[in-house]
A and B are shown apart, each in its own frame.
Chain A
């Protein structure tokens, strides 16, 4: 049975507004770590709020843990964990008090499921008597995750958990998600960072309320339809300008220090190198490269 099943969910805020979520369908298997990847304003948070029963959809059906989000919303609430993008614990309660409060809200005790959060909680335990509002960003995230997990939910919803968190804490956070998955908890996580997508079992790319693609990260990258070249060694503006001028280049864009150029099959490494030399950039270096999630996203966005 699928842990989350979404069918044609649509939601618009107010009449005449373009929908924030437009006919979205996908499903998440039990125990899967599923990523919802898309830029800000793509509709990720709206979809989350619908699935955790804070928002009613205009149309469509969805189930979480086999329970209907509209009819059986009360049952869903005791089985899911939700961590909103914005830190929303009681800042005037201490770390420990927050944890105990959220456990009791779900009729649970901290000791019941302590094993689940031990690794995480041990890291913030030295600060257990500190008010939650006085924690650093990374520790706040850890505490929020602890509070979302303390009743051992079967499905965990994490809305942009790593936005504004330093790279080391981000890595630790994703390591933790991997461990939770091995405990059998289904996780739906949204993020605007493409590099995090690779750590999910499957990902859905979402843009302007539509799902562009649902696949495994490997499948998505393997399905990239064009030969892709990384071009560097020359000033970026000049590179991008020349690349856009080549008839066989389908798309080109900056990718960190390099420019990525996707071309038709007739475009080869040598062809591109020669073209750039003739165009006045003899120092340019061209290398064939594998597509990343971001390349796939750029390609899908362009096609839709």
Chain B
């Protein structure tokens, strides 16, 4: 019985060019384009320097800033008024003001104050721009100290130097970090959308009534719907892993069976969600909108773009109540860090609970008689 249902589903899937395209092309395009675009490194920050000093020291500071590669000097003015105009015209993101007698005072007093005005419309750009400048200033600072403080005459001022080592992603390559996350989102979209839409389509066309008046058991019908999309989810995941390997050279550090095991479990949960949504909807439009609502929350709160730890407590609670969050975390753990089954056990337990609740709820709510 189940065989006939599966045979029918696969026939329908293979005849639907859109679904095939979504399953085969979407993972490739998304994995190739998105990680390149979704880069956290901000380059080409428009910098305007208001130089009220024009001393060699100020010149050197400006040189160091532009030589860093992060900044593009769009203005070198003598008055803050001009710089403000650039800021307003959106041609400057950061305005650094060098006060008059900067060089002389630096030599005489050993300290000077610079002012920094940041256009904070784009929060990420503003924050990073300010941080970059601070770092460059620090280097500049140290260079001056070494130059001016004659060794031996005074005890050297104590300097705490930090030398970070980036574990699991030594070059802080954002692609390494993004690819497993995007892969998780892909698997989620395929599983969630396709399963929800498919069942609602049977409702819309009326074929579900024909099935309902037949002796087919409820759980066979649901299983017949879940299995094909479970297979498709795994196909997409495999394709994604191949792209990660070929294009980005990302080879999972951990065990591949473990990875598939977790994805299988996860697909059960997300297919259950699709199923549940479909039992509450009458049209594909409704199903689409509701699924989209959940996907937005899942993806934005899933820790793909913003770290969970920087969220307010309530948002973190919402994030943990989404299976996507756990998949993204586990994907990164297994692929980048080589975590073992024991490490992902807590996440697996949570996802298994989701799978159980969602599927039982869906089956109870899918009534053959209304």
Residues of A within 8 A of B (CB): 52-56, 73-74, 77-78, 80, 82, 84, 86-93, 97, 101-102, 104-107, 147
Which residues of chain B from 202 to 230 have any CB-CB distance to chain A below 8 Å in the complex?
205-207, 209-216
B368 neighbours in A (Cβ, 8 Å): 54
Instruction: Kindly list chain A residues whose C-beta atoms are within 8 Å of the C-beta of B211.
Output: 105
B369, A107: Cβ atoms closer than 8 Å: no
Instruction: With both chains docked as a complex, state the minimum distance between the C-beta of B200 and any C-beta of chain A, in angstroms.
Output: 14
Scoring B8, B11, B212, B370 by chain A CB atoms within 10 A of each residue's CB, the highest score goes to B8
Shortest A295–chain B CB gap in Å is 35
- Interface check B147, CB cutoff 8 A: no
* A106 partner residues in chain B, CB cutoff 8 A: 214-215
Return the contact of A82 from the options B1, B4, B11, B210 (Cβ within 8 A). B210
Known: A56-B370, A102-B214, A104-B4. 11 other contacts (CB 8 A): A54-B209, A54-B212, A78-B214, A80-B213, A88-B209, A92-B11, A93-B11, A101-B8, A102-B210, A105-B216, A147-B210
In this assembly, does B150 line the interface, its C-beta being within 8 Å of a C-beta of chain A? no
User: Considering only CB atoms, which chain A residue lies closest to B3 in the complex?
Assistant: A104
B4 to chain A, nearest CB (A): 4
- Are A77 and B214 CB-contacts (below 8 A) given A92-B16, A104-B4? yes
Measured between beta carbons, the chain B residues less than 8 angstroms from A91 are 205
The 8 closest A-B pairs by CB, nearest first: A88-B206, A104-B4, A78-B215, A105-B214, A82-B213, A77-B215, A52-B213, A88-B207
Residues of B with C-beta under 8 A to A147:
210
The answer to whether A53 and B11 have CB atoms under 8 Å apart is no
Listed A/B pairs (16) with beta-carbon separation below 8 Å: A53-B369, A54-B368, A73-B369, A78-B214, A78-B215, A84-B206, A84-B210, A86-B206, A89-B207, A89-B210, A90-B8, A92-B15, A93-B8, A102-B214, A104-B1, A105-B1
**Is B12 interfacial (CB 8 A cutoff)?**
yes
Nearest residue in A to B8 (C-beta to C-beta)? A101
Q: How far is the CB of B100 from chain A (nearest CB, A)?
A: 77
| A54 lies within 8 A of B8 (CB) | no
Q: Could you tell me the distance in whole angstroms from the C-beta of A149 to the nearest C-beta in chain B?
A: 13
Shortest A101–chain B CB gap in Å is: 5
- Complex interface: chain A residues within 8 A of B15 (CB): 92
Option from B4, B205, B212, B213 in Cβ contact (under 8 Å) with A101: B4
Which residues 1-40 of B sit at the A interface, judged by CB distance below 8 A? 1, 4, 8, 11-12, 15-16
Contact residues in A for B370 (Cβ distance below 8 Å): 54-56
Residues of chain B with a CB closer than 8 A to A104's CB: 1, 4
| Complex Cα spacing A56 to B367, Å | 12
Contacts of A90 in B (CB 8 A): 8, 12, 205, 207
Residue ID in chain A nearest B4 by CB atoms: A104
How far is A101 from B207 in the complex, measured between Cα atoms in Å? 12
Q: Could you count the A-B residue pairs with CB atoms below 8 Å apart for me: how many are there?
A: 67
Is there contact, CB below 8 Å, between B215 and A74? yes
Of the listed residues A56, A97, A105, the one surrounded by the most CB atoms of chain B closer than 10 A to its CB is: A105
Most chain A CB inside 10 Å of its own CB: which residue of B207, B212, B213, B370: B213
Contacts of B214 in A (CB 8 A): 77-78, 102, 105-106
Nearest neighbor of A83 in chain B, beta-carbon distance: B210
> Of all chain B residues, which has the CB nearest A73?
B369
A203 to B205, CA, bound (A): 30
Complex Cα–Cα for A97 and B210 (A): 15
Q: List residues of chain A with CB within 8 A of the CB of B210.
A: 82, 84, 88-89, 102, 147
- Roughly how many angstroms separate A87 CA and B216 CA in the complex, as a whole number? 20
Q: Is the CB of A97 within 8 A of B369?
A: no
A80: chain B residues within 8 A (beta carbon):
213
Bound-complex Cα distance A43 to B211 (A): 23
Measured CB to CB, the nearest residue on chain B to A151 is B214
Complex Cα distance, B4 from A84, in Å, reads: 22
How far, in angstroms, from A80 to B213 measured CA to CA in the complex? 8
User: Do A56 and B369 form a contact, CB below 8 Å, given A84-B209, A106-B215?
Assistant: yes
Contact (A54, B4) CB under 8 Å given A88-B205, A92-B12: no
What residue of chain B has the Cβ atom nearest to residue A148's Cβ?
B210
- Minimum CB–CB distance from B225 to chain A (whole Å) comes to 14
Which chain B residues border A86 with CB–CB below 8 Å?
206
Shortest beta-carbon distance from B17 to chain A in Å = 11
Q: A90-B8, A92-B12, A104-B1 are in contact. Are A54 and B213 (CB under 8 A)?
A: yes
Interface residues of B in 87-134 (CB under 8 A from A): none
User: Are A105 and B16 closer than 8 Å at their CB atoms?
Assistant: no
Closest Cβ neighbor of A94 among chain B residues:
B11
**Docked pose: A78 CA to B8 CA in angstroms:** 20
Question: Complex formed: what's the CA distance from A31 to B321 in Å?
Answer: 59
B207 to chain A: closest residue by CB: A88
B6 to chain A, nearest CB (A): 11
Smallest CB separation, B10 vs chain A (Å): 11
State A277–B1 Cα separation when bound (angstroms): 74
Contacts of A53 in B (CB 8 A): 213, 369
Tell me the complex Cα distance, A87–B368, Å: 20
* Residue ID in chain B nearest A85 by CB atoms: B206
Contact B209 A107 (CB under 8 A): no
Q: From residue B286, how far is it (CB to closest CB) to chain A in Å?
A: 19
A90 to B15, CA, bound (A): 12
A86 to B204, CA, bound (A): 11
Of B206, B210, B215, B368, most A-chain CB atoms within 10 Å = B210
**How far is B370's CA from A91's CA once the two chains are assembled, in angstroms?**
25
